[in-house]
A = this chain, B = another copy of it.
């Protein structure tokens, strides 16, 4: 990572990623530019297609450079295929710009598995980190929290879970500006006797480690996430992915029932008219675009995954997440935290079980 606190940021974008490619990516970049007028963009993709959309955004055109990429990673490509054959792809070149120090971070709305595999290969993992994780913001009654891992990997050792806790805390510091984020471990019971051995071991390490810059809150159950009991929630990728998607599905289901309740009769529709202000607030709260942008944590560089189906507003938010992380020097501080944790892992391990 290059650039001090005050330096203008350069942002690498995979212009071909996502369901609508350059149309959404460039419109998103244009929105981001209205917020941060001094950033500049490197737009990796099919030059002819990128140029067409760039012409529609004169402000962006002044602050962006299009870099041609011969190929595109498709959504159905396997990560291993993409890594072998995709070295001239827009995704690869955009990540490589971060590795070369030409950009401060990269955003792609493309194939998640391919993006992770490439980012891991090009940026490499931080010292002591075995596995990167995908994090995301999750709306709660008390504002957004961060949940990780969301499926970068299946299963996690106790050490990986503890690493995830620090990686998530680093992101919370960057995007929520909280010095000592509240961190919880997702588990299937609040009693210490319950849950997976790995989760219990990670719990033992985290709770006995006052040197870490986190406010460790212990086990959290699935039904507490929405209450906002923590700023960061840690879980292995299989259960994390299922939990996030289940929450999304439940929110959609509830929204469908709510819509039906407010349109099922002329009286209901009249009621919706009177309540329109409250209903608008509700709709705004459920707008998933404001939570778009999941960083890959644990790499020597900042890579952000945008939802493939988002629009310009959502893509701009993914850029904002990267921007905040770059501004906060997240990687430097995380490295120090990880060193503090790893240096102590042996000692509390033996004592952990009896607690």
Contacts and interface: CB of A to CB of B under 8 A. Distances in A.
A222 interface: yes
B188 A256 contact: no
Interface stretch (A43-51, A231-239, A331-339): A231-239
Interface string A219-256: 00111111100000001011101111111111111111
A195 B241 CA distance: 11
A277 interface: yes
Contact of A272 (B249, B250, B271, B286): B271
B253 A282 contact: no
A97 B355 CA distance: 38
A261 B262 CA distance: 12
B238 A223 contact: no
Contacts of A243: 222, 239, 242-243, 246
Interface string A256-276: 111011111101101111111
A238 B219 CA distance: 14
Q: Chain B CB within 10 Å — which of A154, A196, A245, A286 has the most?
A: A245
A211 interface: no
A244 to B, nearest CB: 7
A239 to B, nearest CB: 4
User: How many chain copies does the complex carry?
Assistant: 2
B250 A226 contact: yes
A140 B257 CA distance: 10
Interface string A184-212: 00101001011110000000000000000
A264 B281 CA distance: 10
B278 A261 contact: yes
Given A235-B242, A243-B242, A274 B274 contact: yes
Contacts of A281: 260-261, 264
A186 B243 CA distance: 11
A261 B242 contact: no
Contacts of A221: 242, 245
9 contacts: A140-B253, A188-B241, A223-B245, A227-B249, A246-B250, A254-B286, A257-B282, A271-B272, A271-B273
